[in-house]
Amino acid sequence: MRTTHPKTAVVTGSNRGIGKEIARQLCQCGFAVFIASRDMHDGREAADELCAEGHEAIFLHMDVNDPLSIKNAVGTFSQKADHLDVLVNNAGILENADVPITKMNVEQLQRAMETNVYGPIIVIQDFLPYLAKTPDGARIINVSSGAGSLQRMRTYAPAYSISKTALNAVTRQFAASLQDRRIAVNTVDPGWVQTDMGGAHAPRSVESGAETIVWLATEAPLTETGKFWKDKREADW
């Protein structure tokens, strides 16, 4: 059955944490939200939870590390909707944060790049035909980190930090390429958020972490593109 909602969104890694909260807030803004997750059980559970709250949430099986899985997800999406207003690349990994770059295993960096950089590139490329069909312009938001800021970077989580810097560069490339097609592309530092990745002692709630991402998806002018944001303000690259 196809969605009857005029606005649609895909949020990767939205079976838990900040991704799930982004999905919830977008639902509250009137979107039909596709819960993209590689974990089928948790993804379906998250979608069911949002549906129980009175929203339209559709589980979309997707592993951003697997190009075939992404293509299959796009195929499933095409059966449910004919356009995509918002794409949020939220799925990401953080491993061995305390290991300095002098001792970092290169395979760890490769895994971080595959999930945090290559995955979002392929997801954007494959969903682009549906983003281009949105009559009022579409929005792509890549979830980055303050750890990826070159001006603020120190020794923390080198593989993760390097991958998020690369994701910021990916954002700039897509923003420049898609500006004439009325597709805004931005990246966001959500801050240190209370998630499985951020830990229980993080100072920010998931609601706070999702706020700027949802603002870019719903309220920010479409002319705001190719920028790095935190708390609805431009952040240092």
Residue 21 confidence (pLDDT) above 70: yes
Residue 130 confidence (pLDDT) above 90: yes
8-234: CATH, from 3.40.50.720, 3.30.420.40, 3.40.50.1370, 1.10.10.350: 3.40.50.720
Whole-angstrom distance, CA of residue 34 vs CA of residue 177? 25
Domain boundary assignment for the chain: 8-234
Contacts of residue 167, defined as CB under 8 A and 6 or more positions apart, other chains included, come to 89, 116, 117, 120, 142, 144, 148, 187
Whole-angstrom distance, CA of residue 88 vs CA of residue 9? 8
Confidence class for position 2, pLDDT limits 50, 70, 90: confident
58's tokens = 């559709």
Percent of the chain whose predicted confidence (pLDDT) is above 70: 96
Residue 235: what pLDDT?
Answer: 97
Residue 113: what pLDDT?
Answer: 98
pTM reported for the whole predicted model: 0.96
CB 69 within 8 A of CB 38: yes
CB 28 within 8 A of CB 20: no
Confidence class for position 128, pLDDT limits 50, 70, 90: very high
Helical spans, DSSP H, in 14-66:
17-28, 40-52
Strand order in the sheet with 228-230: 57-61, 32-37, 8-12, 86-89, 138-143, 183-188, 228-230, 233-234
Residue 195: what pLDDT?
Answer: 67
Q: Averaged over 128-154, what is the pLDDT?
A: 96
Residue 202: what pLDDT?
Answer: 65
For residue range 151-165, list pLDDT tens digits in order.
999 999 999 999 999
For residue range 176-233, list pLDDT tens digits in order.
999 999 999 999 999 876 766 666 776 678 888 999 999 999 999 999 999 999 999 9
From the number of C-beta atoms within 10 Å of its C-beta (0-12, 13-18, 19+), residue 151 rates as: exposed
Q: Averaged over 17-27, what is the pLDDT?
A: 96
Q: Which uninterrupted H or E stretch holds 173?
A: helix 158-178
Residue 206: what pLDDT?
Answer: 82
Whole-angstrom distance, CA of residue 53 vs CA of residue 57? 10
pLDDT averaged over the chain? Answer: 95
| Ramachandran sector of residue 137 (left: φ over 0; alpha: ψ -120 to 50; beta: rest) | left
Q: Which uninterrupted H or E stretch holds 160?
A: helix 158-178
Q: Averaged over 132-143, what is the pLDDT?
A: 96
Residue 40 confidence (pLDDT) above 70: yes
Terminal CA-CA length for the chain:
43
Residue 160: what pLDDT?
Answer: 97
Residue 87: what pLDDT?
Answer: 98
